[in-house]
Amino acid sequence: MQTMLIVLFLILNTYQMMRHIQVLVKMRKKAIFPVEEKDIMAIRKHPVRPVLRSTYKDQKNGIIIYGVFLLFMLALFIYTVSLENWPLLLTPAISLLYLHNLFNMFSIVNDGLLVGGRFVHWKDIKSYQFKPIDIDHRFYGHTKEVNEAGYELVFNRRLFSSYCIVISEETKEKITEILREYGKVAEEPLKPQEA
């Protein structure tokens, strides 16, 4: 049992390190979108603040915290193995699932999307939807811009979904064109209860 937990944790930590390295490599590529400042201001990962450019300089806080946390997890793992106190790993292991939220970025590159701290390849995206942010939406009430003209852009992947918030009709149209051209991804219509 102990050997199985060790192997499972090492696989999980290695997977997270590989994903982090993949995002760092993709950040070096030239972004197709957003390029202009008005588009950057019209896209948000969190309702309250606009995204930052997908450069090392702008994302340095997320990069450093992510790296330090992975090193902390490795040190905690070594400490836990020596003490044989496995419950110590439970809380930090669960927080590994949400580390991608440290990055406040949305960027379209040639071979996919950078959404938060995740890279999503074009082939992994099944469809996308623009869900209007109305009074019943979870992002309603955070800021006036999001309330008045906001859309939640949801990328449906194989198992999970990724999202960002778009607060401009012009930016929404640009994203739609790029997704059709580069990703050849179909827009999924809203279901009646979502409209």
Tens digits of residue pLDDT in 156-172: 988 888 899 999 999 99
For the chain, list residues with pLDDT below 50: none
Q: Tell me what pLDDT residue 192 has.
A: 61
Q: Tell me what pLDDT residue 151 has.
A: 93
Q: Tell me what pLDDT residue 21 has.
A: 93
Burial class (CB in 10 A: 0-12, 13-18, 19+), 87: exposed
Q: Tell me what pLDDT residue 182 has.
A: 83
Q: Tell me what pLDDT residue 154 has.
A: 92
- Is 1.10.287 the CATH number for 31-50+106-195? no
Q: Are the C-beta atoms of 134 and 152 separated by less than 8 Å? A: no
User: 44: closest CA among 121, 129, 103?
Assistant: 103
Structure pTM?
A: 0.81
Per-domain residue ranges for the chain? 1-30+60-102, 31-50+106-195
Q: Tell me what pLDDT residue 189 has.
A: 76
